[in-house]
Amino acid sequence: MKKLIVNENFKPFLAKSDDEVLGGFPFAWNISELEKWIGSHTDEVVCSTVKVSPTSPHMGTLTEVHIPTVDISKPVIAV
């Protein structure tokens, strides 16, 4: 396991009331700000294809009604 290297210049984005956030203490990912960052740093982002297993009970319910509402132009963010 690699030792964590602290970035002294790191400044977290505090979530606003309408931000999408994943997780909680001690790690909360501000998905809204991450999407903005990805959009303005496309040359630094590595995209890859990931094979996934069939849905698990933890992923919610996928229904025929939900499928047309999915925006496939946005990347999936895996944390």
**Per-residue pLDDT at 79:** 65
d(CA 26, CA 15): 14
Q: Which residues pair with residue 28 across a beta bridge?
A: 23
Is the separation of the CB atoms in 30 and 18 below 8 Å?
no
One digit per residue, pLDDT tens: the chain, 79 residues? 788 888 899 887 888 889 988 887 777 888 899 889 888 998 998 888 877 776 666 666 677 887 788 887 877 777 6
Residue among 55, 45, 52 nearest 75 (CA): 45
**Per-residue pLDDT at 58:** 63
| Continuous segment of H or E residues that includes residue 39 | helix 31-40
